[in-house]
Structure 1
Amino acid sequence: MARRIVVVGAGIAGLATAVALQRRGHEVAVIEERTDTSSGAGISFWPNALAALDEIGIGEAVRAAGGRVTAGALRWRDGSWLRRPARERLVRALGEKLVLIRRSALAKVLADALAGGTVHTGLSARELVTTADGVRITLSDSTTRESAGGPPSSADSPAGRPCWCPQR
């Protein structure tokens, strides 16, 4: 049974959730306060994460938009090598090459996988009220959206910035 679902936040998790829900036949709206979501960190995807992206139908698009890691190594602070495995060994051990992608490129792949009109920018959720039928969300423009039941949750910020890739 298709449900009407509102995802608050068009970050990577929100967009990926929306893609997965739409692919299961649900009517999804994504609400995002920011109007520019183009900046952000570079993200690396290991094979198990790529398999998860394959499950929601965007793995190949992410592989195409990102760069493939063909080797890796670790150095001590003094510059001497700690570990430098052979290139073929890395792929053999992992099953496939890692993918590096800018957050903005990943967000574009995710947004492009959504039906047109799914993402609404420049709006924020001001109030979430649990109702008998689900959740009523009041937006910053004073309109309301109804969403299927379930506890509202939030994540206010990214966990950190392992690398920063500003747009040029």
Structure 2
Amino acid sequence: MAHAIVIGGGIGGLTAAAALHAHGWTVRLHERAASLEPVGSGLAIGPNALRALDTIGAGDPVRALNAFQGEGGVRRADGRWLSRTSIQTAADRYGDPLVVTLRAVLVDLLADRLPGGALHLNSTAALTDPGGAATPATVTVTTGSGAGEETADLVVAADGIHSPTRTALFPGRSPIRYTGLTAWRAVTRAPAGGFTPAEAWGRGTVFGINPLAGGRAYLYATAPAPEGARAPGGDERAELLRLFGDWYDPVPALLEAVDPGAVLRNDVHHMPRPLPAFHRGRVALLGDAAHPMTPNLGQGACQAIEDAVVLAHHATQAATGSPGPGVPDALAAYTAARRRRTTRVMRRSRQIGRMTALTGAVPVFFRDAAVRLAGLLGPTALDRQGDMIFRWRPPGEPA
């Protein structure tokens, strides 16, 4: 039976482990943290990712979490609509809704699909040897009880935007860059009267609100800031109120309801040039380790989920015998299947990020006018912008 080691217990790593297990692999997943997603934040799961999750039986449980109904769109800071679209129109076009849920809920659904003993917390795995056609890959695993080596037919590196594995495989290639923006995320209770999902654009600033199941709301925001900066006294909610407290209702009330200790802040990075490949030897990079992207399209987790099921598909076709002599060639097929698509999504997200980062009065005026004009063409015109992303289907599924 083919054996895989997965480095990183985020959404991409968990999906990869679950998909490989579903294809008959034995799997060990090493996560350096003591728990999976100990803090709360939300994420959007698009129709493309839902179809990928269907391949491991997780699509319908995620669909059942959907609280995103009615209309949504893009607004100005004062609340005036720049464009609107019907959630149902988009669902009809792509065959599935956009589901916004707690990241931790999806993590739990994925972890439940792993076999007993597969998940190892407080366990750091570092690549030692990527292996080759006739030799397995090797990692050094460090836990509280010491360090030791493990070998595998396949190593999946889902170790995040600052991936040590990426650096080991491609030293000096395609380093990440700070975009000049920092991002906040928080979950709070929704207003009693509800609200309309929207993303509002200011002058270099963005604030988004989405409903969650159970009467909660997911908030996210971006604004210019020096890299590594933090709010005075560590009070990120106060910083959000300073930046967005005079925006349209219900933004101020939502921020007032946020637990000050539950605001997450992360600088936003991107990769100016794509990697030459997503693999080397028997090691595959996945998600942010392979193609870090800005959050403007909400596709970071979705593309990692796609990566995982495509990787499992190609690797399984080649994993006969030991140490799976066809795995390196299968990883070349994985790169071929994923590099062009993820590069397009990564670049489109960065383009939107540059639009939202405009600060000058004249550029912002023309940006808003362009978005408003596109909105006047109707919801279908706006929905077509998502065709390249949302019409994707997993390998073996008819287009």
Q: Which TM-score applies when normalising by structure 1?
A: 0.83
Shift, 1:100, TM fit = 0.9
CA contact (8 A) 1:41 1:162 kept: no
Where does the alignment leave 5 or more consecutive residues of structure 1 unmatched?
Answer: none
Equivalent AA in structure 2 for residue 59 of structure 1: G
1:63: how far off? Answer: 2.1
Cα drift, residue 39 of structure 1: 1.9
How many Å apart are 1:96 and its aligned residue? 2.7
Among 144, 147, 150, the residue aligned to 1:145 = 150
- Alpha-carbon distance in 1 for matches of 2:93, 2:184: 24
- Is it true that 1:163 corresponds to 2:163 in the alignment? no
Structure 1 residue 78 corresponds to structure 2 residue 100: no
Once the two structures are TM-superposed, the CA of residue 53 in structure 1 deviates from its matched residue by 0.8
Pick closer, same or farther for the CA change 1:152–1:76 going to 2, 3 Å.
closer
Per-residue CA deviations over 1:124-154 (Å, capped at 9, x if unaligned) read: 0145224452112111121221111568675
Residue 13 of structure 2 aligns to a residue whose secondary structure is helix
Question: Cα 1:56–1:162, aligned 2, differ >3 Å: closer, same or farther?
Answer: farther
Whether the 8 Å contact between 1:68 and 1:99 is mirrored in structure 2 is yes
C-alpha distance 161-49 of structure 1, shift in aligned 2 (>3 A): farther
- Tell me the secondary structure at the aligned position of residue 116 of structure 1: coil
Unaligned runs of 5+ in 2: 164-175, 177-181, 188-261, 264-399
Q: Are 1:59 and 2:81 an aligned pair? A: no
Aligned positions, number: 165
With 40-49 and 3-12 compared, the bigger mean Cα shift is at 40-49
Q: Which amino acid aligns with 1:14?
A: G
Match of 1:69 in 2: 68
Q: TM-score, normalised by structure 2?
A: 0.38
Which residue matches 2:11?
A: 12
- Taking only aligned residues, the RMSD between alpha carbons, in angstroms, comes to 2.7
> Structure 2 CA distance, aligned partners of 1:45 and 1:63?
9
Identity, in percent, stands at: 30
Quick one: structure 1 residues 98 and 127, their matched pair in 2 at CA, closer, same or farther if it must change by over 3 Å? Answer: closer
Asked if the contact 2:6/2:158 (under 8 Å) is kept, the reply is no
CA distance in structure 2 between the aligned counterparts of 1:29 and 1:150, rounded to whole angstroms? 10
Label 1:102 to 1:143 Cα distance change in 2 as closer, same or farther (>3 A): same
Task: Provide Cα deviations, 1:3-49, integer angstroms capped at 9, x if missing partner.
Answer: 11100111110000001100000000000100122225311111121
CA distance in 1, matches of 2:126, 2:147: 9
Letter in 1 for 2:25: H
Moved more, 79-88 or 147-156: 147-156
User: Which of 128, 135, 138 in structure 2 is aligned with 1:136?
Assistant: 138
Query: How many angstroms does 1:94 deviate by?
Result: 3.3
Contact 2:47 2:98 in 1 (8 A): yes
The whole-number CA distance in structure 2 between the counterparts of 1:162 and 1:53 is 27
Contact 2:88 2:97 (C-alpha < 8 Å) held by counterparts: no
1:123: which partner in 2? 123
Tell me, yes or no, if the aligned pair for 2:9 and 2:29 is still in contact at 8 Å.
Answer: yes
Q: CA deviation at 1:60?
A: 1.2
Structure 2: distance between partners of 1:15 and 1:114: 8
Give yes or no for contact 1:3–1:26 (8 Å, CA) kept in 2: yes
CA distance in structure 2 between the aligned counterparts of 1:36 and 1:128, rounded to whole angstroms: 25
CA pair 73-130 structure 1, distance change in 2 beyond 3 A: closer
Which letter does structure 2 place at the counterpart of 1:36?
S
| Max Rg structure | 2
2:310 maps to none
Richer in helix (by share)? 2
2:8 touches 2:158 (CA, 8 Å); kept in 1? no
CA shift in 2, pair 1:146/1:157, >3 Å: same
Q: Distance in 2 between matches of 1:30 and 1:151?
A: 9
- Give the distance between the partners of 2:118 and 2:155, measured in 1 at CA: 20
Q: Is the 8 Å Cα contact of residues 68 and 87 (structure 2) preserved in structure 1?
A: no
